[in-house]
Every structure is written in structure tokens, then in C-alpha cells.
Amino acid sequence: MMMEITFKTLDRVTINGLYNKNTVADITSFAYCVEDNTYYLLDDPIVLQKREDIEITENGYYKIVIKDEAKVPIITCNTLKDVYKQLINRLARNDLNPFVLYKKFKEGYVTGNIEIDDVLTSVEDIPDDIIEEMIKDIAKAEKNHPDIFIFIGIDILKGIDEVLKKIKTNQELLKDKHITIKDIVNDLTVKGYKSITYPRYHTLVRFIEELINDEKKKLERLMKKQEQQQQQGSTNQSSSGQQQQLKGGSSSGNSTGSGTGSTAGSNAGMQGSPSPNTVGNNNNNNSNGSGNIGSSSGSGSGVGSLQLYAYTFRVIVSTNLKRNEVNEIIASIKRIRPDAKVEVI
């Protein structure tokens, strides 16, 4: 017996996967919703595009004439949520779009499938904008690659949820990265031979863990570098303290010491030092505020002025130099060149 049905469709919950691609454009069942007195299609709405006997009415409904009424069962459901459950029940074996399922779940629609509902319940909160963005992204992939299968597992939702949690916990660490969920998912999506495979839970979790780990390690390295610099700074400070002491000693040496210049001169080996390192050291010492020993004027000794002093003397002796010996060496240099600046490093 022929029958005309005017019906509506629910949102498309599937993607172009392995099962949906080869779907024969058969209309297999309808649901009658008592709540709004409407018939709903319980098949993937994509079949409508493949059929030519479907008429679209002015108010957005579809109209079809069923030739054999007995072949197309009509299930009666009390509410729209029951219709949704029936739809999922029929399409559960197909490739479902997890993001559409989650969107519907947030609107209060449960699928009635224990496994899917478990995952949807376990996901704490993925913001709507991310869900919308991902739905658009998948639609774009379907449009751009109509011949390619799309593989996406429901656990991607758990993965995204975990990623969001980890980003939130490590906000400070990742603040310069400007990462978005869309970027992460796209970067991990594998475009293969006739297929696009979206990342699964463990791939997403490993990715974000690795990213955080990487950032932590970089930060650790930076801190260690700073620590080393600080240590170097404190060493310089202590040496500048020594220099300060020596400064006091040198003035007394100047007043008392005499006649030892020849000994010091014989011990002092000229290094011949316009090397960048030496200049760098000088600059470092100067910038750390160390006083210049034996500087008679005490003025006009800027950072740049030190670079004019091109020689470094290294004193090589068999035993350690005593303080007064050091002072004598300085005094003897000053005697030869009163305008010289002498640093003990």
C-alpha cells in the first residue's frame, strides 16, 4: 500500500567513514514523535541527497511517497530525546561524529548507548566554541576530500578534555605558546592513503605531556643558567671585595714599599693579551662595580676606558704571593706608569 510521509531530520551525527560511504540510499525507518506530532527520519540524512524522489516543502520538511508501507517501519516515540536515542541506536555501528554527539549531550540528549554515554559523561567540560570549531573543521575536511574516509574515535573527546585540563594546570608554563585545540588536533591528524585519521585519546595526552615536559626542561635549563650567572656574579663580587681590601693596602704600600720593582718585573710575564676574553673579563669586573686598584685619580674610569688597556700581566712564582708582595708589584707598576690602572682578578 502506498503512503505519503512528511518528515523532518535530526542533526547529522555521522561522518564520511568506512560504513557511511557505501551506504545504499535506502530509507529504512521513521520515528513518530508524539511530543511534536512529527515524523523523523531514522537514517543518515545524507541518503536524502542521493535520492531524487524526495520533495522539500516550504517549511523545511521533506516529503516522500513510500510504495510499500510494510517495508518501512515507523516507531512511536514520546519525546524528541527518544527519537534521538532511536537514531543513535540505528547508527551506532557507523562512523559517528563525537563532537555532534557531545553537543547534543550538552543539550540534554543521551544516546542510550552505554559505551558512548560513559565517554560523554566522563568528559567534564569542553567549551562550546571548541566543539563548534571542530564540527566545522570536520565538515570542511568532508567537503574538501569527498572521496576520503574519515576515522575518528569517540575517545578524542576525552583526549581534548585532558589536554584542556593540562593546559589549565600549566597555564603559566604554556602562556607564550598560544596553542589552540584546533591546532593540536590538526597537527596530530594523519592524512593517509584514502583516509584522514583524527588523533585518539592517548595521542593527544602524550602530545600535551611532551609539550609540558619540554617547556619544563627549557625552564629548568634557563634557571640553571641564571643560577650559574648569579654564582659567577657573587664570585666577582668577592674578588671585588678583595680588590677593595687591596686598595687600602696599596696606599700603605705606596708610602712604604720601595726598591722591589726589579724583582716583580722579573717575575711578571707578559701575556700579550688583546684577546676578546680578557677584554670581556675586564668589562665584567668593571660592570660589577669592582674598584680599580692603584687608581690614583679614581675618576674617568668608565667601562669603555678599560678597553684601552691592552696588556694583561700574569705573575708566575713558585709559592703563593703574600699580600704585601702583591702590593709591591702594584706599586712598582705604578712607579713605571703612574697613569696605569691595575686590577687583581
Partner 1 sequence: MMMIKKGKITADRIYTLFFSRKINVLSIKDVLVGLGSFDAKQVFRLLSELFRKGIISLNDNYDISIRDHCILLQKVLGFKREATATFLFTALKCYKMLIRGYLNSNEKGKEEVFIDIDYVWNFASYTYNKRYNADSKRHAVVELLKENYLIKDDYFKYKRYKLNIDKIVKEGILDYLTCVHGEYS
- 63 vs 202, which CB is nearer to partner 1? 202
- Binding of residue 194 to partner 1 (CB under 8 A): yes
- Binding of residue 140 to partner 1 (CB under 8 A): no
Mark the segment that binds partner 1 (CB under 8 A) among 58-66, 94-102, 135-143, 197-205: 197-205
- Binding of residue 4 to partner 1 (CB under 8 A): no
What is the smallest separation between the CB atom of 321 and partner 1, expressed in angstroms?
36
Contact flags string 89-128 toward partner 1, x per CB under 8 A: ----------------------------------------
- 55 vs 210, which CB is nearer to partner 1? 210
Q: Using CB under 8 A, which of 36, 69, 115, 187 touches partner 1?
A: 187
Q: Using CB under 8 A, which of 35, 55, 132, 183 touches partner 1?
A: 183
The secondary structure of the chain, three-state, reads CCEEEEEECCCCCECCCHHHHCCCCCCCCEEEECCCCEEEECCCCHHHHHCCCCEECCCCCEEEEECCHHHCCEEEECCHHHHHHHHHHHHCCCCECHHHHHHHHHCCCCCCCHHHHHHHHHCCCCCHHHHHHHHHHHHHHHHHCCCCEEECCCCHHHHHHHHHHHHHHCHHHHCCCCCCHHHHHHHHCEEECCEEECCCHHHHHHHHHHHHHHHHHHHHHHHHHHHHHHHHHHHHHHHHHHHHHHHHHHHHHHHHCCCCHHHHHHHEEECCCCCHHHHHHHHHHHHCCCCCECCCCCCCCCHHHHCCCCCCEEECCCCCCCHHHHHHHHHHHHHHCCCCCECCC
- 79 vs 213, which CB is nearer to partner 1? 213
- Binding of residue 143 to partner 1 (CB under 8 A): no
- Binding of residue 165 to partner 1 (CB under 8 A): no
Q: Using CB under 8 A, which of 206, 216, 314, 323 touches partner 1?
A: 206
- 27 vs 208, which CB is nearer to partner 1? 208
- 54 vs 173, which CB is nearer to partner 1? 173
- Binding of residue 227 to partner 1 (CB under 8 A): no
Q: Using CB under 8 A, which of 53, 118, 210, 227 touches partner 1?
A: 210
Provide the binding-site residues for partner 1, judged by CB under 8 A. Answer: 147, 177, 179, 183-184, 186-191, 193-194, 197, 202-203, 206-207, 210-211, 213-214, 217-218, 221, 224
